[in-house]
A and B are shown apart, each in its own frame.
Chain A
Amino acid sequence: MTLLKVIAVIILLFVWLSYRKSRPAEVSDLFVISFLLIYVPGFILNPSGGSNFNQLSMSAAAVFQAEISFLTVLCLISLVMLVRWAVEARFGWLNRVSAPLSARNASQWLAVGALCFAIAFFIAIIQFPDALAFRKDVFRFLTFQMGGIEHRILRNSGYSSSFVVASVLERARYTIFPISYCLIIYFLIEKRRFMATAVFSILFFIALPASLSKLPFLFYFGYIGVLLVSRVPQLHRAGWFLLFSLIGAALTIEALSILYAAQYKEAVIRGSVIPVDLAMQRIWGEPYSIIVRYFAVYPEILDFTGWGGVGQIAQIFGLPVRKPDIEVALSMLGPNNGSNPAAFFMSGYAAFGRVGLVLFSITGLFFLWAVDLVGRKLRFPHLKSVYVATMGMNVLFLNQIALQTAFLTYGLGIIPPVVLFLDYCVFAVERQSLSVREYLQIGSR
């Protein structure tokens, strides 16, 4: 089995890197890299899903089912990549990247527009008392003035009934806010105002996407990182992204192992706890373990959820809503253990078994292709960078959230039309100022 897994991973790497050869990295590459880095080590080295953290012992049948299903997903990724390759070779227009156009002042007026939008949004939401209270709580959280218990209560249920916070802010946090943010900092970076970029980032983060969790920190750092890299053609390659991710993973292991060495000092000195081992289990043991848990729960403990487990569809058709991520956590870990969200295709498995897993995988992978095609059609380099930065980071959510949730709440279905619309607007406004050479380029297409 291990040999089969290694072969499947090598085939996927070979197909992906061959397909990507000599072409700038695209959004789907960031998903492939993150998926491989997050899940494959656990899949190969710890297929049972048990670790020092969860103390779980799942049945051999569930472990085997998980292994077979994960192998299927790896093969599907390779297969869809091959289909993309073949179709793009046959229909060249799919493969064609729009020639970059230079709009003289577009990045400036888009930045001003985004800034006006951000200020208007901020003023609008502080009119609501619960949104204002939330902002104050976030400020206390960011300045370390909030205790652990209070934080847990506020984060889990404090604002769940507030429409502005739970619906508006939560949905804007990873959709229109990152677009505005990237449009503004692109302009600042272009003008080499690095200090202004840092100050603005802090102000923007406190004023708008504010959250009581640490995740947005990571993502907004990621938006800047990918935006910087995507501006440099030499670095904007799948290989560089893979390399940066590998180094990032190594640095994360180091940071966690040092934290564990400090936390379990006595045990580490005695030799009963190995910090690096513990850090690797935390980073790579848990994500794959959650996948195995789905196979231990469905259908061994609970029936498949059917459409009731696919959130938005259940709500539209008035079906009793079931939440697989919470059901898995409840069944495997007991009450008060939060949720166990897994990779996007697992909601398909929880709903319809192996067929659902295959259907959701294929849908998600073809959706990523569509996302890449949109990226190729953008005409202005700064909008392309903003698109790669926002979508490139947001596709990481596919590793731990259902496909339909990632589509709406995490912007995968919202950012492409918004950026395409901005691209069209810039083209319409700047049409007159495009150079003769660029006009000839457009005419020849």
Chain B
Amino acid sequence: MLLQTLLVALAVLPFAGAILAFPGEIMEFVFGESYGEVSGVMGFMVMSQIMFAFSLPWSNLYLMKNGETVYALANLMAAIFAFAVAFALAGTYSALAVAIASMLGNTLLMLFFWGLGTLEILGEEGK
């Protein structure tokens, strides 16, 4: 699991780092000049994707060992949480609220799967 997560980190972090370091330039290069201004939203979206990537090794493991119910419940919980945050912040932060909500939702997902995975390792140790 360690190797899988480190590989995910190795694959994701350089790209994420580049987008975080040069958000305006990358948005302008990919989508055109008028999109350069939304680099504030990009930062949160990138963090959101980093968190999602970190949750992947554990969540996929649950899918592979018949833990679909846990997987579905965790995703449902994250979606409801993200929806509530987006709804609460939309009036103040408009598009930024959705980005923040997505980031917090994926963070919750990551913490859930990591917590569950670490507890399993601790449990195995206690046997």
Is there contact, CB below 8 Å, between A250 and B54? yes
The verdict on A250 contacting B118 (CB below 8 Å), with A239-B6, A243-B6, A275-B40 known, is: no
- Chain A, range 106-140, C-beta contacts under 8 Å to B: none
Is there contact, CB below 8 Å, between B2 and A250? no
Is there contact, CB below 8 Å, between B93 and A243? no
Pick from A266-274, A318-326, A337-345 the stretch touching chain B.
Answer: A266-274
Is there contact, CB below 8 Å, between A253 and B93? no
Q: How far is the CA of A418 from the CA of B107 in the complex (A)?
A: 41
B109 contacts chain A at the CB level, 8 A cutoff: no
Is there contact, CB below 8 Å, between B125 and A234? yes
How many A-B pairs with Cβ below 8 Å? 79
Report chain A residues within 8 Å CB of B17: 41, 45
- Chain B, range 80-127, C-beta contacts under 8 Å to A: 92-94, 96, 100, 103-104, 107, 110, 114, 118, 121-122, 124-126
Picked from A232, A237, A269, A276, the residue with its CB within 8 Å of the CB of B47 is: A276
Q: How far is the CA of A237 from the CA of B13 in the complex (A)?
A: 21
Is there contact, CB below 8 Å, between B100 and A274? no
State which size class the interface on B falls in. 35 or more
Is chain A's binding surface mostly helix, strand, loop or mixed? helix
Report chain B residues within 8 Å CB of A242: 6
Q: How far is the CA of A251 from the CA of B21 in the complex (A)?
A: 18
Q: How far is the CA of A114 from the CA of B74 in the complex (A)?
A: 42
Residues on A close to B: CB < 8 A? 41, 45, 192, 228, 231-235, 237, 239-240, 242-243, 246-247, 250-251, 253-254, 257-258, 261, 265, 268-269, 271, 273-277, 280
Besides A243-B2, A246-B13, 16 other CB < 8 A contacts? A232-B121, A234-B124, A243-B9, A246-B9, A254-B104, A257-B44, A258-B100, A261-B93, A265-B92, A265-B93, A269-B93, A271-B39, A273-B40, A276-B20, A276-B46, A277-B23
Q: Give 17 CB contacts A-B under 8 Å.
A: A41-B17, A231-B125, A232-B125, A234-B124, A235-B121, A242-B6, A243-B6, A243-B9, A254-B47, A254-B103, A254-B104, A261-B93, A265-B93, A271-B37, A271-B38, A274-B40, A275-B44
